[in-house]
Structure 1
Amino acid sequence: MAISRRQFLVASGGAVAAAFLGWQRLQAAGPANNPAPGFGPLQPDPGGILDLPRGFSYRVIARAGDEMADGLLVPGMADGMAAFADRDGRVRLVCNHELNPERVPLRGGPFGRDHTRLAGVDRALLYDAGGSEPSCGGTTTLIYDPARGQVERQWLSLAGTDTNCAGGLTPWNSWLSCEESVSRPGPTHAREHGYVFEVPAAADRLVPAVPLKALGRFNHEAAAVDPRSGVVYLSEDRADGLLYRLVPNTPGRLIAGGRLQALALQDWTAADTRNWVSNPQKLEARKAFTARWVDLADVESPDDSLRLRGHRDGAARFARGEGLWWGDGALYLACTSGGALQAGQVFRYTPSPFEGGSRETEAPGQLELWVESRDPDTLANCDNLTVAPWGDLLLCEDTQRHCGVVGVTPDGELYAFADNPYNDSELAGACFAPDGRTLFLNQQTAGLTLAITGPFPSV
């Protein structure tokens, strides 16, 4: 990928930039007074899978269709995921699979052709055993030993769900798997879909699929948790979606419910963050907008009206809210079709020190437009994202051309970290091992999960 000057609207915060003081960054070759950001030019991959900067390499650690330790098959359409520490330096990687009945014949589900392998599964653990066939979305968990570069075991850990796109890790070591679906009972579904399910990272087998209904029923995309308050933030993959939060009754115990709300902006009457050409007003970059949160009722929303009711109460619209990640005391949100070119935006939400509590109005949270793409050849339709251990954002593209991973430094410099010119697969699920030395990444339609190592900055 040719790396041109990034032309973005970028708002940078002093606190984030300060986190970088004294940290050694790798720079691309260039004049000493104008070093390029990132890790240098990308090198063509002789293996035809992923181009990376010099010094970086990957291992394929999972392939769709391979047999797992439980006798099932690695499902296709790997999407969001998170890495958790395991014993002796090993990593547990919990991965979503964005499968629904229409995609299973093309992309492959865990139960094999004609679902013959379902016979060995306890159907009581599935959320939806199906009408004509079982729902084949869910999660897999694998144990990876970075020292040896080997997968020790992989198995199906959540099943019977639909279109599990992204999700988020929790501070109590679980994965929140989100259904990007509002399917109703019919020929292929026996139950309503559109929920979030929790998968403990420590579980060594298929877990019961229990919907966390307090987190709402809508076209879920991702989730992120503020480790200080236990508040859960949720994105919605709709062109007019909302940014939600659950203020839990008991932090860390989401099954106990809570109060679901949607973000509104006190000083932005347009209630529209998308900056589309048709917008009468444009959201300014480099400006913090004061947040308020709108209570939502009837959160199980059988008619899929949750966002529409939020609009009526002044909740802000976002253009296909997708990736969410918590880092450096803030929440980052990718909006895939936001911006004047509909090429993508990233927002940064800094919560109140009293987030979700009775004193929140004393110091409300703040929302900023962090990045808006003005050049689709540089950044196109960011989807999953993660905050790197050294503080940069890494954005996975999901676009019509070949997709890459784009880095964003705290001061707004953009750089190409990876590129996939070999097929039309989106890149997804970027996340780091707990020690920051391995980056995991999915090549979705190609059915590959990669472990990337190289000269990442030491933190």
Structure 2
Amino acid sequence: MVLSRRNFLSLAGISITTGVAAVSLKNYYTRVANGQTTETEKFGKLISDPNGILDLPKGWQYQVISQVGKSMSDGTSVPTSFDGMAAFPGENGQIILIRNHELSPHEFPGVIASKEHKYDHLSQGGTTTLIINKNRTLAQEFVSLAGTNRNCAGGATPWHSWISCEEEISTPQLNSQENPDNVSVKHGYNFEVSSQSKIAKPIALTAMGRFRHEAIAVDPSTGYIYQTEDQNDSCFYRFRPRQPGNLQAGGILEALVIEEMPSIDTSKNYPLNQPKSVKWVQIENVDPDDDTLRYEAQKKGAAIFKRGEGICLAKGEFYFTCTSGGNAEKGQIFRYNPAKETISLFVESPGAEILDYPDNLTLAPFGDLIVCEDGAGEQFLIGVTPQGECYRLARNAYNNSEFAGVCFSPDGQTMFVNIYSPGLTLAIWADWPKVTGA
């Protein structure tokens, strides 16, 4: 049979709720093959957009608030490659968006800033900040971080800053005319960007580790920061700052170990919804010369995840995606519980028609996870219910570029998302339900 993308990942008779034993993946796939499925269109079918940009459920609206190449308030042009993003409260009801630009040294249009405001004058990546009015129109737009390398995702902090993550550790090697001072600058770090100020001189947060960073999420109760890594053999990390809220003061970097499965590769034949106890091992060499940090972690028993990407906090638990993990190699979503110190596989895609390369994700006001796809062909925003059921929420009708940077305004009334290339930022709204405590 041909599976609809609206099919649940929880098939008829399969519960993925915490505390209920999950059916084995083998049995699960057997049920799929036998057509034992249920379907959902939680918000109704997607309506074709006459403007050819974004298909949404009936009654949902959107508008483009930023586009690559447009002139910004600081006189520079909007860079390309829109990636991770977060929303913060501004003055008088305004919304502040900070947006990553995942650019390598030879990619243009890049993030433009004066040399004193760039971490590395050879690099094109960074962030831009958007000030959005109450009516969802753009008030200001300007560069807020420059000179970094492939800023992929990141995450918001409780103290209203954005941690922008470099997904590349290589040092730009350009010719002597482009680099007359023969400067060699290391990359592969996190950078903090204030939501309340304009561009400042970037400072690499070296204590958080040098690796192919993807995204972060902060536990507000402890100040601990959880980090994902985009590698086929990545690890899952925890940073314990010496001074919560002051990341430049340093701290301790650790990697997650599944106690009964040391050094396990979680990408194949991993059991659904079976919480496993974890512990953390300390990383000694947090700033290696080469991309070897994960090897130290794995020698100490750290679990291996296939392309860790987006992460978010939802009801006291951290959900993170593994873009190409799973038996079908189409994606997994893991759930880490810091109170119980357990980890479990929450969702695994049986095929691209259900979920195709999950990337950035966030928690919606109506209690579901919203996941950006980064697969082949058509790209969707996928909703995932607390029971692990998947449904499509929006379709990129503009092109086949990935969705990225999905987030909600502080009041929960507006969803923002990027079409990665060539670069569009969209505001989406509807009369969606609210879940208390979500």
Which residue of structure 1 aligns with residue 256 of structure 2?
Answer: 263
SS of residue matched to 2:127: strand
Report what 1:127 is aligned to.
119
SS in 2 for 1:58: strand
How many angstroms apart in 1 are the aligned matches of 2:286 and 2:303?
A: 17
Partner AA of 2:59 in structure 1: G
Give 2:286's aligned residue: 299
Unaligned stretches of 5+ in structure 2? 21-37, 176-182
Residue from 194, 210, 215 that aligns with 1:217: 210
Give me the whole-angstrom Cα distance separating, in 1, the residues matched to 2:41 and 2:368: 11
User: CA-to-partner distance for each residue in 1:311-333, whole Å, 9 max, x for gaps?
Assistant: 11110000000001112101110
| Amino acid paired to 1:181 | E
State the match for 2:103 in structure 1: 99
Secondary structure of 1:307's counterpart equals helix
2:368 is equivalent to residue 376 of structure 1: no
1:246 maps to which of 239, 242, 248: 239
State the distance in 1 between where 2:358 and 2:172 align. 32
CA contact (8 A) 2:316 2:337 kept: yes
C-alpha separation in 2, matches of 1:94 and 1:295: 31
The question of 1:434 aligning with 2:421 is answered no
Match among 267, 289, 294 for residue 276 of structure 2:
289
In the superposition, relative to structure 1, how do residues 42 and 266 fare at CA in structure 2: closer, same or farther (>3 Å)?
same
Contact kept, 8 Å, 2:41 with 2:392, in 1: the verdict is: no
Verify: 1:78 aligned to 2:92, yes or no: no
Is 1:11 the equivalent of 2:5? no
Q: Is the alpha carbon distance of 1:297 and 1:409 closer, same or farther for their aligned partners in structure 2, counting shifts above 3 Å?
A: same
Match of 2:315 in 1: 328
Q: Is the 8 A contact 1:10 1:372 kept in 2?
A: no
Name 1:401's counterpart in structure 2: 377
Deviations 1:376-421 (A, max 9, x none): 1121000000011232101100011111110011122211101114
TM-score (ref. length: structure 1): 0.85
**In structure 2, how many angstroms separate the alpha carbons of the residues matched to 1:127 and 1:238?**
24
8 A Cα contact 1:80 1:96, kept in partner: yes
Q: What amino acid is aligned across from residue 122 of structure 1 in structure 2?
A: S
Instruction: Identify the range of structure 1 (336-345 vs 389-398) with the bigger mean alpha-carbon deviation.
Output: 389-398
Amino acid of the residue matched to residue 120 of structure 2? D
Distance 2:263 2:186 in 1: 34
Match for residue 191 of structure 1?
185
Q: 5 Å matches for 1:37-52?
A: 38-52=42-56
CA distance in structure 2 between the partners assigned to 1:11 and 1:368 by the alignment:
11
Which amino acid in the other structure matches residue 102 of structure 2? E
State which of 130, 134, 141 in structure 2 corresponds to 1:154. 141
Check 1:347–1:413 CA distance in 2 against 1; reply closer, same or farther (3 A cut). same
Instruction: Report the residue type matching 2:42 in the other structure.
Output: G
Q: TM-score, normalised by structure 2?
A: 0.89
- Please give the per-residue CA displacement for 1:11-52, whole angstroms capped at 9, x wherever unaligned: 32379xxxxxxxxxxxxxxxxxx9935211101011111111
Task: Give CA deviations for 1:147-192 in whole Å, capped at 9, x if unaligned.
Answer: x231100100000001000000000100000000011252277311
The aligned runs of 1:174-189 (5 Å cut-off) are 174-187=161-174
| Cα deviation, residue 458, structure 1 | 2.8
Partners in 1 of 2:390 and 2:172 — Cα distance? 45
Q: Identity of aligned pairs, percent? A: 44
| Cα distance in 2 between the residues matched to 1:314 and 1:229 | 25
AA of the residue aligned to 1:456: W
Match of 1:31 in 2: none
- Whole-Å separation in 1 of the counterparts to 2:275 and 2:389: 20
The answer on 1:109 being equivalent to 2:110 is yes
Shift of 1:455: 1.9
Given the superposition, is the C-alpha separation of residues 225 and 256 from structure 1 closer, same or farther in structure 2, using an over 3 Å criterion? same
How far apart are the structure 2 equivalents of 1:440 and 1:421?
16
Question: 2 CA distance for matches of 1:35 and 1:181?
Answer: 40
Contact 1:59 1:450 in 2 (8 A): yes
Cα distance between partner residues in 2 of 1:3 and 1:261 = 37
C-alpha contact 1:339 1:345 (8 A) present in aligned 2: yes
* In the alignment, structure 1 residue 137 sits paired with structure 2 residue 113: no
2: CA distance, partners of 1:456 / 1:82: 20
CA distance in 2, matches of 1:10, 1:312: 35
Q: Contact (CA 8 Å) 1:10, 1:371: kept in 2 or not? A: no
Q: Secondary structure at the match of 2:54?
A: coil
Partner of 2:59: 55
Whether the 8 Å CA contact 1:7–1:375 is kept in 2: the answer is: no
- Shift of residue 122 of structure 1? 3.4
Q: Deviation per CA, 1:290-339: give whole Å up to 9, x if none.
A: 01111111101111111111111110000000001112101110000000
2:186, 2:137 → 1: CA distance? 38
Corresponding residue for 2:329?
342
C-alpha distance in 2, partners of 1:224/1:348?
13
Contact 1:11 1:287 in 2 (8 A): no
- Does the CA-based 8 Å contact 1:328-1:391 persist in structure 2? no
Structure 1: distance between partners of 2:285 and 2:262: 25
Query: How many angstroms does 1:269 deviate by?
Result: 4.0
Change (3 A) 1:308 1:35: closer
* Corresponding residue number in structure 2 for 1:90: 94
After alignment, is 91-100 or 182-191 more displaced?
Answer: 182-191
Deviation by residue 1:189-226 (Cα, 9 ceiling, x = unmatched): 731110000001111x2121100000000000001100
Structure 1 position 375, deviation (Å): 2.4
Aligned residues: 406
| C-alpha contact 1:13 1:410 (8 A) present in aligned 2 | no
